[in-house]
Amino acid sequence: MVGFQVAAGKRGNTLHDKQHLNKIMELQIRNLSKTYSNGVKALDDVSLSIPRGMFGLLGPNGAGKSSLMRTIATLQEPDSGTITLGDLDVLQNKSEVRRLLGYLPQEFGIYPKISAYDMLDHIAVLKGISSGRRELVEELLRRVNLWDVRKKALGGFSGGMKQRFGIAQALIGDPKLIIVDEPTAGLDPGERNRFYNLLSEIGEQVIVILSTHIVEDVQELCPQMAIIDKGRVLYSGSPADALYGLQNRIWSCSVPRSSVHEMTQQLPVISTRMVAGQPVLHVFSEQQPADGFSVTDADLEDVFFTYIKGHKPAGQA
Ligand code: ADP
């Protein structure tokens, strides 16, 4: 079983902490690189500015998202580069950063026989919360909508309930930086919606980094985003600007199943979607790529595949 990520050290609430927190505005990542001992370059000169609010880090599996999240969460060292949170040097002040951090890792282990209430209370103890703990635990259980099942064993929870419990534990100690790594994988649409609502509420006050390979997560929640693949940042900015860059450049055509392979060889196809059982090719092109194609309104999935396939929309570096 994977253990909980519990912040090291006790939570302080000194005047210095408060003054410090007020100064926290942005997470700045500069020239971060990491090559694992097996030779995989998971992070390749990553630079990002992440403001308050929900920030979507979008990339396919293996892109380097978890490596970046773990590095920001001070759980692993980069080979080079810097990270600052406000004026705090993240890599040099790990225990201070952990006091400001709420982390929901990809593999979130739970103790199946313990109730939600007892587990949350236990984590709060480990995080150094003593006075007001009962009120805090009760408030968090209500906030993530698990109050009615607080006495039930975690092992019987659905995927969505487990993720909401994961958010509750990440919120202990009023974090200023929250990292959630692939939180919606495996959730059904209703659970995903409840989780979106919860995250968007939280995202108003603090920095929330949402790492995901699911385009819809970013579309629903994030005013700012980055696309990464093979350890490199391919786009960073707002979804709206990314969409603007694709205006009049995404062409679509419904084609017979038998021609998909050939057309994919011949044209800069970024994706094939199924619409009512029929393949529809999406192509990135400045002009009409072939007869039958018409310009279509780009969506975030087009943005994602355009960058992943290595195209550079106008106005982008
Ligand atoms: P993502 O979260 O986007 O799926 P990861 O950061 O987990 O990406 O992985 C990026 C790349 O680094 C992948 O090729 C993965 O196999 C590799 N990788 C991740 N962790 C390790 C590790 N501890 N040792 C060696 N390779 C790793």
**CATH number (domain holding residue 225):** 3.40.50.300
Residues 232 and 145 both lie in one domain: yes
Residues 264 and 174 both lie in one domain: no
Whole-prediction pTM value? 0.87
Residues 74 and 119 both lie in one domain: yes
Predicted local distance difference test score (pLDDT) of residue 279: 95
Q: Is 34 part of a structural domain of the chain?
A: yes
Residue 274 has pLDDT above 80, yes or no: yes
Point out which residues pair with 88 in neighbouring strands: 85
**Is the CB of 36 within 6 Å of ligand 1?**
yes
Range of the domain at 84: 15-240
Residues 143 and 284 both lie in one domain: no
Query: Which of the four pLDDT bands, split at 50, 70 and 90, describes residue 7?
Result: very low
CB 113 within 8 A of CB 155: yes
Residue 98 has pLDDT above 50, yes or no: yes
Predicted local distance difference test score (pLDDT) of residue 186: 77
Of 191, 217, 240, at which residue does a domain stop? Answer: 240
The average pLDDT across 150-168 equals 92
- The alpha carbon of residue 130 and the mean position of all alpha carbons in its chain are separated, in whole angstroms, by 31
Residue 4 has pLDDT above 80, yes or no: no
| % of residues, the chain, pLDDT over 90 | 70
Residue 2 has pLDDT above 90, yes or no: no
Q: What mean pLDDT, rounded, does the chain reach? A: 89
Q: Is 7 part of a structural domain of the chain?
A: no
The average pLDDT across 168-189 equals 89
**Is the CB of 46 within 6 Å of ligand 1?**
no
Residues 213 and 280 both lie in one domain: no
**Is the CB of 61 within 6 Å of ligand 1?**
yes
Residue 12 has pLDDT above 50, yes or no: no
The average pLDDT across 222-248 equals 96
Task: Provide the pairing of β-strand 177-181 with 101-104.
Answer: parallel
The closest residue, in CA terms, to atom 26 on ligand 1 is: 36
Residues 177 and 254 both lie in one domain: no
**Is the CB of 212 within 6 Å of ligand 1?**
no
Closest-lying ligand 1 atom to the alpha carbon of residue 68: 6
CA-based nearest residue to 201, from 161, 168, 160: 168
Residues 190 and 283 both lie in one domain: no
CB atoms within 10 A of CB 117: 18
| % of residues, the chain, pLDDT over 70 | 91
Residues 283 and 207 both lie in one domain: no
Mutate to test the pocket of ligand 1, among 35, 43, 67, 72 (most ligand atoms within 8 A of CB): 67
Q: Is 105 part of a structural domain of the chain?
A: yes
Residue 315 has pLDDT above 70, yes or no: no
Q: Is 30 part of a structural domain of the chain?
A: yes
CB atoms within 10 A of CB 262: 10
Closest-lying ligand 1 atom to the alpha carbon of residue 76: 23
Closest-lying ligand 1 atom to the alpha carbon of residue 61: 4
Count the domains in the chain: 2
Predicted local distance difference test score (pLDDT) of residue 199: 86
